[in-house]
Amino acid sequence: MILLAIDPGIHTGVALFDHDGTIIETYETTGEPYEVAALIAQETYHEVVIERGPASRAIEYMDELDGWLRVVFPDAHWMYPGEWKHTPRAQQEVNGVLSHHARDAVRMGREYMFQRTLTT
């Protein structure tokens, strides 16, 4: 199982994990929302988790990016920041990942994998 974790934003963080939680790759990307979604869609993955932003935001870019991500990843699991940011996995150091947004993708991915092990 390969997990693709996405932290959407003006600078979108991406992390890929192997079945055992090993980080395969991390990066940050920017561009038009459709370009960002198309670039990330080229990754090989089995499951996808995406951070869900607040429903009441007034940022057209983020609304458009979320829309493209929903089209490209219709089966993705969406997590609110409150579901992962205050967990022990979110507090762990992410060595070797320089981008703040990629680190957030790693931390959210770790929490998603942890929660998934509790339900399987």
Structure token pair of residue 106 = 């790693």
Handedness of CA 18, 41, 53, 75 (dihedral sign): negative
Q: To the nearest whole percent, how much of the chain has pLDDT over 90?
A: 78
The pLDDT of residue 57 is 66
Cα–Cα separations (whole angstroms), residue 15 to 107, 112, 119: 9, 12, 22
Q: At what angle do helices 33-41 and 60-72 cross, to 10 degrees?
A: 30
Structure token pair of residue 35 = 């370009």
| Stated pTM of the model | 0.93
For residues 23 and 68, give the distance between their C-alpha atoms in angstroms, rounded to a whole number: 25
Mean pLDDT, rounded, of the chain: 92
CATH numbers and ranges of domains, the chain = 3-119 (3.30.420.10)
The pLDDT of residue 24 is 96
For residues 110 and 115, give the distance between their C-alpha atoms in angstroms, rounded to a whole number: 9
Please indicate whether residue 59 or residue 120 has the higher confidence score (pLDDT).
Answer: 59
The pLDDT of residue 98 is 85
Nearest to 43 by CA among 20, 67, 83, 12: 12
